[in-house]
Structure 1
């Protein structure tokens, strides 16, 4: 049986399969936030391509023990695992979610495909899946926090103002700034790397569209589908672009522009480069930037 929250707010997660899906999405959201930076690292790609299976098993074993200890304290589910058997079952699920997320990202970024040898696929998935799995375990700590309290305090402060337009512009500006800060926080360390250039060079127009779709889908999942602490309050916010679809699209554009500015700042693109080079590099960097922007919006 699920534990009831200590406050008077009802549990926003559903019951049965719906609640299970929401918990998986919540865990995956933390996995994307924690694991994306390491995904843009060529050294990890290379290490995963030649490490032998016994070493991979040892890595999985150590990861299992670490996540088991984390789940005994606070797992990705809102209810705690009171028994060792429950914690073990949740640990298997945590690692499965993390490895699945890592595999999907490796496919989207074309680091693995049908021609990649099986041992190389397993190596890359394991090495990239470890931070994703840790992110799943840390998802509640990473993404829930005290956002609900701060949002309520902000609403109480805003209620002192007269005029609805002032509140609308404040909410819109808050989302804009939060998206920008989150995008910078995650993508700033990725922008100067050669991985962006390598990934962009191998991406066809179809794969660039897939990256855009994945960026928006993950961003939507983090903010609206994962049902974190301030989920219901965000739907009541009064910004200009507050429907889930329009906010996701606008936030992606902000993340894309922020990515382009970061690339220009680090001299990865110049004003003499053709527009399609800017667009290619920007779309590749927009994936981590939009994920960071989504996490930033959870804080407002």
Structure 2
């Protein structure tokens, strides 16, 4: 595989990662909302079909006029829209299963209805995230139209939340702000308690792993806006360290917000821990992607 092919593959993977993160950033509250779950049960198939067609039309329009490749041909716009729709369906299915909303005893109609209702918003988030959250590649254009080398502006970039980072305290504070901002959207709801009570230990482990994987992908591999200075030195130790610290911040923020809203009152220790892990997924998105958007 030549260098050009490798760059194209890396760019495509980064676009997919930004799409996944964007889909979750813009739709996560809906994935945690009981009313949206029930809408999937009661929606008529014709209504669902209209919903899908309307969303696909929106994707076509957005990709044509505001997408990542504005000079794309109609066929490329259609392909991008189909990919975003498919990615939205996959993300919605995975997270609905992780949240315990999809089970083996449900009928195919019930499963399909829930996935479709959630996936349409996720698909729009995928499209917006892919196009608008990118950090560019290589050299950046200045206002005067001249190219400036990123290394001259930041000669010694350091990874996110590493021990040798002189701005560790500032990064920690911003990450905590992002975690609180996102966790506060879901932590006060009854759905968090319901999901936590219904989740077994393996599902909670899944929540933790998915949270850390998402955090690592966003911070080090997605080419999000603002990540370039962190991802240039992404050795395995730095990636692991930054991911673990980010997740720890997310759990602290989740626990604090849950306690503030009285979600720990009268609950057992294991239920409190489960609630923290469940809401920690949103907090991790905030501590990573949200932190980048705050700066």
| Mapped pair 1:52 → 2:49 | no
Task: Pick the aligned partner of 2:170 from 171, 174, 184.
Answer: 174
8 Å Cα contact 1:81-1:87 kept in structure 2:
no
For 1:82 and 1:273, locate their aligned partners in 2 and report how far apart those are by CA, in whole Å. Answer: 54
**1:276 — aligned with what?**
270
Question: SS of the counterpart of 2:193?
Answer: helix
For 2:241 and 2:255, locate their aligned partners in 1 and report how far apart those are by CA, in whole Å. Answer: 21
The one-character-per-residue Cα deviations of 1:119-154 (angstroms, maximum 9, x if unpaired) are 1111111111112111111114653479x89xx99x
**2:256 — aligned with what?**
261
What is the total number of aligned residue pairs between the two structures? 277
For 2:107 and 2:154, locate their aligned partners in 1 and report how far apart those are by CA, in whole Å. Answer: 58
Superposition pairs of residues 69-108 of structure 1, within 5 angstroms:
69-75=61-67, 77=68, 79-108=69-98
Deviates more, 1:251-260 or 1:79-88: 79-88
8 Å Cα contact 2:192-2:275 kept in structure 1:
yes
CA drift at 1:103: 0.7
Superposition pairs of residues 22-61 of structure 1, within 5 angstroms:
22-61=14-53
For 2:154 and 2:207, locate their aligned partners in 1 and report how far apart those are by CA, in whole Å. Answer: 39
8 Å Cα contact 2:19-2:125 kept in structure 1:
yes
For 1:237 and 1:264, locate their aligned partners in 2 and report how far apart those are by CA, in whole Å. Answer: 37
CA drift at 1:88: 1.2
| Mapped pair 1:291 → 2:285 | yes
For 1:84 and 1:93, locate their aligned partners in 2 and report how far apart those are by CA, in whole Å. Answer: 14
**1:188 — aligned with what?**
184
Give the TM-score normalised by structure 2: 0.83
Q: Name stretches of at least 5 consecutive residues in structure 1 with no aligned partner.
A: 1-10, 160-165
| Mapped pair 1:216 → 2:206 | no
8 Å Cα contact 2:23-2:126 kept in structure 1:
yes
**1:122 — aligned with what?**
112
For 1:113 and 1:213, locate their aligned partners in 2 and report how far apart those are by CA, in whole Å. Answer: 20
Question: Residues 221 and 237 (structure 1 numbering): CA distance in 2 closer, same or farther, change over 3 Å?
Answer: closer
For 2:155 and 2:10, locate their aligned partners in 1 and report how far apart those are by CA, in whole Å. Answer: 34
Q: CA RMSD in A?
A: 3.2
For 2:256 and 2:122, locate their aligned partners in 1 and report how far apart those are by CA, in whole Å. Answer: 27
The one-character-per-residue Cα deviations of 1:141-183 (angstroms, maximum 9, x if unpaired) are 653479x89xx99x96999xxxxxx98332x123212221211
CA drift at 1:22: 2.5
Superposition pairs of residues 205-244 of structure 1, within 5 angstroms:
205-236=201-232, 243-244=238-239
For 1:284 and 1:189, locate their aligned partners in 2 and report how far apart those are by CA, in whole Å. Answer: 13
For 1:97 and 1:236, locate their aligned partners in 2 and report how far apart those are by CA, in whole Å. Answer: 28
Give the TM-score normalised by structure 1: 0.82
For 2:176 and 2:129, locate their aligned partners in 1 and report how far apart those are by CA, in whole Å. Answer: 21
CA drift at 1:284: 0.7
